[in-house]
Amino acid sequence: MNELKAVAAAHGAIRVMGATVSVGARSGVVVESFRFGCQVLSDEEPLTRGMALEIQTPAPDLLCCGCGAKVADAATGGGCPLCGSSEVWPTGGDGIDLIRVELEIPDKNTVSGG
């Protein structure tokens, strides 16, 4: 939420229309709680009041212990598609990232093509 406000301030935005946040599968964050918390916080700020919040929960990457490959797709049946090892462990996906922010910027510099 502070990050949101910083982004908005950096762009001179008067309002945050919406935000897309990535919540890692291993971040230990309960998405519904996170969404609720964000909504409570955003309603307290005129800047972010009523903003649309989209939360993505990407599958974590898998790290193969057999060949060291990083496998992005968890739909491999729990094994490494490269060496066939079943020793794969989730890696990453333990943080919360701000992916996209929609801002309302009071700058009427509309591009007027001839």
Give contact residues for Zn ion (rule: CB under 5 A): 64, 66-67, 69, 80, 82-83, 85
Provide the minimum distance between the beta carbon of 84 and Zn ion in the complex, in angstroms, as a whole number. 7
CA distance 6 to 20: 15
In terms of CB distance, is 31 or 69 closer to Zn ion?
A: 69
What is the residue whose two structure tokens read 């093509």? 113
**Whose Cβ is closer to Zn ion: residue 44's or residue 87's?**
87
Cβ closest to Zn ion, residue 67 vs residue 96: 67
CB of residue 87 to Zn ion, shortest distance in Å: 8
> Rounded to whole angstroms, how far apart are CA atoms 68 and 81?
12
Name which of 31, 14, 25 is nearest 91 in CA terms. 25
In whole angstroms, what separates CA 15 from the centre of its chain?
Answer: 20
Shortest separation between residue 113's beta carbon and Zn ion, angstroms: 52
Helix, strand or coil, per DSSP, at residue 49? coil
